[in-house]
Structure 1
């Protein structure tokens, strides 16, 4: 291992003379793992620069981002590399394409595919490298090292295993179907609603549900309206049975008025038999403080 470390140090001597490289001294390398049910982060601080960080949100694959304490790298584009380790001769760097570099604390976010290949490269002993060339030809590089990665990656995977199935953007809207034409929730509908319940319990700021029941045009308007109401009630009953208070639910029903597709085939009519579910964050309404009248003030003083 010591030979690998010394070989790793030697690679920096071979960089172009004009290159400005940011990397943490070998003996100070560390990987940090943080996260919760909503997001996991695997980061390596980069001395005098900031940090390289893999971020995986619930319901998504990881992306890689570069955070800077100071704007050392200008705007434009940069090349993302999975650089070969110096102790593995005959292997070249893998060019993963370009990223757009902006300003602010986070200089860029990679694609999920780029982040996946960087992680695979780290497992294989490669270094994530961000290479930026300024307009006057100056080259700047930010380099992460694979030292101590295996243990940190195992901890990161443990965090990922606890992520929710979906993030808020994915879970906040859903449509529960009634393909059979009745008012009973099938297994697919219950599964979809259970994911929403799980998210609400994990994030108390998501505290309100809007339900909109719909039907096809198979009956008369009164029958269709009642069917849409009973379907919305079936969804509301599911939420209530799973710990959501009725006061958190707004229920509406529309009959056949808002079809998703023309009611001209069995498949289209099945699409229209649905309850749209919308999760929201609603701030509580603060009640105004009671006014103190002059007579009340006088009475309390006497």
Structure 2
């Protein structure tokens, strides 16, 4: 009897571990769409686990993230699959690569390419499947189902159509060039500033602008310093003409002191004739007084 018991133990020990699967019941599947001008989210809640969520920020393509309130999956790695749906066996799974799993509420964020292929798989009736390998060798699976995905995706696309062209990280800094050597804003410069202005109007928390004017070394230092000042003023005047208060703008000018490239040829000198524009979120108590600063460090209140 003991020999039979040991033999059975040996058989069970040789079998692969069963995967623990998290999946919402078919009749309870739902997709939700939320968003604004800055971000759109397409989410499927996962029973007893958390949710799978496609997130698209303004100016970017979507990523996929897995959120959890269940501590059973944390650390290790996971494989993303566009898996055959349970009711469509025989199609085979598509391996989309691996992701590193963390331990917070958001377990991972996929690449944009992986998210795009997951969306394509959902449109084709496939299931996003996350197969997690813990450090102790355990295997868990989290599955989303494509039920009612097409309707939800149409609502998500409607949200995406209203996103701003850029997000804050993309829009917060810009270089406005003066390639012709003058002080007037050309069409390209105005287009850059208009994008920044539109973002400020959409997000009132972005409430301060810093301007730094620069020149090449073609003239004497006094002339170059004045050119850098007038270029910065041209940018300031653009913002003021479009509703930005002067108290929201800090302006500095540096002449030829900080070149981007050596002033050794025409192309480099054109690069150095510029105004650097930086958008900031400044709390009301932290707002600097409006000022115009010269390259020497002296400042005058405008």
The question of a shared fold, defined as TM-score above 0.5 by the shorter chain, is answered with yes
Q: How many residues align?
A: 271
Q: Which residue of 2 aligns with 1:13?
A: none
In structure 2, how many angstroms separate the alpha carbons of the residues matched to 1:109 and 1:57?
A: 13
Look up the SS of the partner of 1:71 in the other structure.
Answer: coil
- Report if aligned partners of 1:183, 1:234 keep a CA contact under 8 Å in 2: yes
Quote the offset at 1:89 in angstroms: 5.5
Q: Which residue of 1 aligns with 2:276?
A: 276
In structure 1, how many angstroms separate the alpha carbons of the residues matched to 2:17 and 2:261?
A: 64
Q: 1:230 to 1:241 in 2, by over 3 A?
A: same
Q: Which residue of 2 aligns with 1:99?
A: 99
Give structure 1 stretches of 5+ with no counterpart: 1-15, 287-302
Q: Which residue of 1 aligns with 2:120?
A: 120
Give structure 2 stretches of 5+ with no counterpart: 1-15, 287-302
In structure 1, how many angstroms separate the alpha carbons of the residues matched to 2:183 and 2:135?
A: 65
Within a 5 Å distance, the mapping from 1:71-220 to structure 2 comes to 71-86=71-86, 88=88, 90-220=90-220
In structure 2, how many angstroms separate the alpha carbons of the residues matched to 1:183 and 1:23?
A: 62
Quote the offset at 1:86 in angstroms: 4.7
Q: Deviations over 1:190-222 (max 9, x none)?
A: 111111111111111111000000011111111
In structure 1, how many angstroms separate the alpha carbons of the residues matched to 2:53 and 2:254?
A: 47
Look up the SS of the partner of 2:27 in the other structure.
Answer: helix
Quote the offset at 1:87 in angstroms: 5.1
Look up the SS of the partner of 1:230 in the other structure.
Answer: helix
Moved more, 143-152 or 127-136: 127-136
Q: Deviations over 1:235-273 (max 9, x none)?
A: 111111111111100111111111000001111001000
Q: Which residue of 2 aligns with 1:54?
A: 54
Within a 5 Å distance, the mapping from 1:3-82 to structure 2 comes to 18-82=18-82
Quote the offset at 1:156 in angstroms: 0.6
Q: Deviations over 1:15-38 (max 9, x none)?
A: x87111111111111111001111
- Report if aligned partners of 1:84, 1:93 keep a CA contact under 8 Å in 2: yes
- Report if aligned partners of 1:215, 1:273 keep a CA contact under 8 Å in 2: yes
Q: Which residue of 2 aligns with 1:238?
A: 238
Q: Which residue of 1 aligns with 2:229?
A: 229
Quote the offset at 1:134 in angstroms: 2.7
- Report if aligned partners of 1:71, 1:104 keep a CA contact under 8 Å in 2: no
In structure 2, how many angstroms separate the alpha carbons of the residues matched to 1:115 and 1:55?
A: 9
In structure 2, how many angstroms separate the alpha carbons of the residues matched to 1:45 and 1:86?
A: 18
